[in-house]
Amino acid sequence: MSRNKSSPIVSTIIVGGATFISRLLGFLRQSVVSYFFGATGTADVLNFVFTIPNNLRKLLAEGALSSAFIPSLTRSHEDDPTLGKSKDLTRSLLTFQLIVIVPIILASVIFAQPLIQFIGPFPDPQQIILATELFRWFILYLLFISVSSVLMGVQNSHHQFLIPSLVPLFFSIAVISGLVIFYESLGVHAQTVGILVGGLGQVILQLPSFFKLGYSLKPKVHFLTEDFKKVLKKYAPTISTSIIFMISQQISMSLAATLTIGSVTTFNNALVFWQLPQGVFAASIATVLFPQMSRQVATGNRVGLGETVNQGLQGLLFFLLPSTIFIQFLGLEMIHLAYQHGAYTYESTVMATEILIILAWGLFGVGAFGFLQRLFYSEQNYRTPFYVSLGAVVADLVISIGLMNTSLGVRALALGNVTAYTIGFLLFLYLAQKKMDSFKFKSLGIFTGKLFLALILPVVFLGLTDYYWPISFIQEASGIHWIRFFVRSLSALGLFLLMSVILKIDFFRYLKRNKNEKK
């Protein structure tokens, strides 16, 4: 069996590094969109429509599927080192996905207009027409990403993370190139070219490494095997949880569409920055440690499982707590540098910054929520994540709807998200710690206290430079804006790392191979 034995530190660096570059390209993509369209009705439509196939991707492809597929595939590797069962399972799953997704795409194309009218309450009829046109093309992306997600899952189950982590870069490059090259001739439809080319490229670029492992794309209608039934049995409750999140996110975007013009775009622009630490750190840690937790559950290693969860939460704290604090001081500068040019105004910059600052307070809560959700999935416990997620989504929507018509406006959507998922994380943590050995609240508390101490000096530095080095953000960014940002951000980061060393914060501990993990 081909199996990469690299340590979690190497795997996380690979995933995190590639994700970091991908997020930077995501910034560039949003910056290009903002340059051409600003925070206008057209930009709102563009951002809104892409959330539909993007949410379906999480539902039918990457998120829910990997949570059900990877544990079963990992167990198949253990049961059959020749990989015969794993290969059959993969071929059957690819075939099943196509049988399900192709009709969904066809129905979406045919009934695009009534669907958009139902979920996209745009006040302008021209926005509905444009949204319908874009949706008929954007939905095709779901076919490519559904196949790509299976290829990623197979490679991750073999502890191969490099290629799956790099292929999203091609997608971002394709989208950016499509906008730049075809905007003059195609206008807003230039985004369509980039999305479809990027989606197809994600599949093609993974095929060599997928084939090298001995797998095949040849269809196999073999849906009655025990292994496939197990995947579907796990997939059903997992997809139920994903449906909850998809509906919640789509409702949030629909609510934003009912507010002032530009609300969808400013909210989406803030999300792009929020997703940088979430994608680079939280998602990378969960991606790397999920197969490890699944293996520990499969071998009955409860002590190792407890230590893995401890290490994962400490890793999330080390990266996401400083990110939260730094965004409070640097958020306006980041949004200004990335978006305020062309048709994007200072008022939109301020609104996006205010949304980002609220979202930042939920970085750790949301990241830990997703990580502990994977813990329950690794134990094949899908009931608990479903009910906890349902409670979080209901709380999110109640808070958002209750406050959106106040002076908070679109900022209420961010506040609802942060509050609900932080509470959900605390509930997950309470339920999880009772089921694991070697899980210590005390060590987590001490680690958190050290992090706060390490952040005191950077916070003082950022506060003083903000006071003694004032600057205007009304105009487009100039050289002095870039200099100020890099001086402040890099200095604050350096001070934090220095204090971490002085306080002996072993921030790579969570990445080291668990000594209690069975080889």
Three-class HEC string of 307-347: HHHHHHHHHHHHHHHHHHHHHHHHHHHHHHHHHCCCCCCHH
Most confident of 71-75, 134-138, 339-343: 134-138
Res 3: pLDDT: 46
* DSSP secondary structure, 84-110, as one string: HHHHHHHHHHHHHHHHHHHHHHHHHHH
Cβ 397 vs Cβ 251: under 8 Å:
yes
Number of neighbours of residue 11 by Cβ within 10 angstroms: 24
Range with the largest mean pLDDT of 162-166, 235-239, 491-495: 491-495
Short-list 280, 251, 239, CA closest to 119: 251
- What token pair was written down for 208? 């060599």
3-class SS shares of the chain: helix, strand, coil, % to 5: 80, 0, 20
The per-residue pLDDT for 250 is 74
Instruction: Report the C-alpha gap between 143 and 101 in whole angstroms.
Output: 7
Asked whether the predicted pLDDT for residue 456 surpasses 90, the reply is yes
What string of H, E and C letters represents the secondary structure of 253-308?
Answer: HHHHHCCCCCHHHHHHHHHHHHHHHHHHHHHHHHHHHHHHHHHHHHCCCHHHHHHH
User: Which domain, by its residues, includes 208?
Assistant: 1-258
User: H-type helices in 61-83, by residue range?
Assistant: 62-79
Do 341 and 420 share a domain, yes or no? Answer: yes
Q: Identify the CA nearest to 442 among candidates 321, 301, 322, 314.
A: 314
The pLDDT of residue 436:
65
In this prediction, residue 516 carries a pLDDT of 47
* 322 and 254 fall within a common domain: no
pLDDT tens-digit map of 416-446: 989 999 999 999 988 887 766 566 777 788 8
Q: Is residue 321 located within the same domain as residue 238?
A: no
Average pLDDT over residues 42-68: 69
Q: How far is 136 from 117, CA to CA, in rounded Å?
A: 14
pLDDT tier at 288, thresholds 50, 70, 90: confident
Clarify whether residues 406 and 460 are in a common domain: yes
Q: What is the pLDDT of residue 342?
A: 74
Is the pLDDT at 1 greater than 50? The verdict is: no
Q: How large is the average pLDDT for residues 79-99?
A: 81
The radius of gyration computed from the CA coordinates of the chain, to the nearest angstrom, equals 23
In a domain, 268, yes or no: no
Give the separation between CA 54 and CA 476, rounded to whole angstroms. 31
pLDDT tens figures, 291-303: 788 787 777 777 7
| pLDDT greater at residue 62 or residue 323 | 323
Mark whether 58 and 195 lie in a shared domain.
yes
In this prediction, residue 514 carries a pLDDT of 47
Predicted pLDDT of residue 510: 47
What's the sign of the alpha-carbon dihedral 115, 116, 121, 123?
A: negative
Q: Are residues 207 and 332 in the same domain?
A: no
Q: Tens digits of per-residue pLDDT, 271-284?
A: 888 888 887 788 77
Residue 495 within a domain = yes
Instruction: Give the mean pLDDT of 37-48.
Output: 78
Predicted confidence band of residue 519 (pLDDT cuts 50, 70, 90): very low
More confident residue, 468 or 29: 468
- Report the C-alpha gap between 443 and 432 in whole angstroms: 16
- Going by C-alpha positions, the residue among 260, 468, 265 that lies closest to residue 349 is 265
* Across 10-24, 58-72, 476-490, least confident range: 58-72
Angle at 317 between CA 331 and CA 377, to 5 degrees: 115
Place of tokens 């021209």: 126
Q: Are residues 357 and 474 in the same domain?
A: yes
Q: What is the pLDDT of residue 360?
A: 94
Question: Residue 162, Cβ neighbours under 10 Å: how many?
Answer: 17
Yes or no: say if 66 and 154 are a contact pair by the CB < 8 Å rule.
no
Distance in angstroms (rounded) separating the CA atoms of residues 80 and 74: 10
Task: Please check whether residue 340 is in contact with residue 393, taking contact to mean a CB–CB distance below 8 angstroms.
Answer: no
Dist. CA 88–CA 219, nearest whole Å? 10
Percent of residues, the chain, with pLDDT higher than 90: 23
Quote the number of domains for the chain: 2
**308 and 253 in one domain?**
no
Residue 512 has pLDDT above 70, yes or no: no
Please, what sign has the CA dihedral across residues 167, 54, 213, 78?
positive
Sign of the torsion formed by the C-alpha atoms of 246, 252, 258 and 262: negative
Which has the closest alpha carbon to 379: 300, 265, 282? Answer: 300
Of 237, 258, 279, which marks where a domain is finished? 258
**pLDDT at residue 338, rounded to an integer:** 84
Averaged pLDDT score across all residues of the chain: 82
Is the residue at 282 inside a domain? no
Assess if residue 387 is contained within a domain.
yes
Q: Are residues 341 and 231 in the same domain?
A: no
Shared domain for 227 and 363, answered yes or no, is no
pLDDT in the model for residue 432? 82
Residue 279 belongs to a domain: no
pLDDT: which is higher, 76 or 207: 207
Residue 517 is given by DSSP the state: S
CA–CA separation, 356 and 414 (whole Å): 8
Closest listed residue to residue 61, CA positions, set 246, 207, 196, 220: 246
pLDDT for residue 448 is more than 60:
yes
Work out the pLDDT band at 42, boundaries 50, 70, 90: confident
Task: Provide mean pLDDT across the span 215-228.
Answer: 78
pLDDT score recorded for residue 518:
44
Residue 288 resides in a domain: no
Query: DSSP letter at 373?
Result: H
240 and 368 both lie in a single domain: no
Q: Is residue 294 part of a domain?
A: no
Assess whether 249 and 346 both reside in one domain: no
What is the arithmetic mean of pLDDT over 239-249?
72
Question: Domain for residue 269, yes or no?
Answer: no
Question: What are the tokens at 305?
Answer: 């499982």
| Distance in angstroms (rounded) separating the CA atoms of residues 482 and 446 | 37
Whole-angstrom distance, CA of residue 284 vs CA of residue 289: 9
At a CB cut-off of 8 Å and minimum separation 6, what does 274 contact?
356, 359, 360, 363
Instruction: Tell me the residue type at 472.
Output: S
Q: Which pLDDT value is given to residue 461? A: 96
Question: What's the predicted TM-score (pTM) here?
Answer: 0.72
Given a contact cutoff of 8 angstroms between Cβ atoms, the answer to whether 258 and 281 are in contact is no
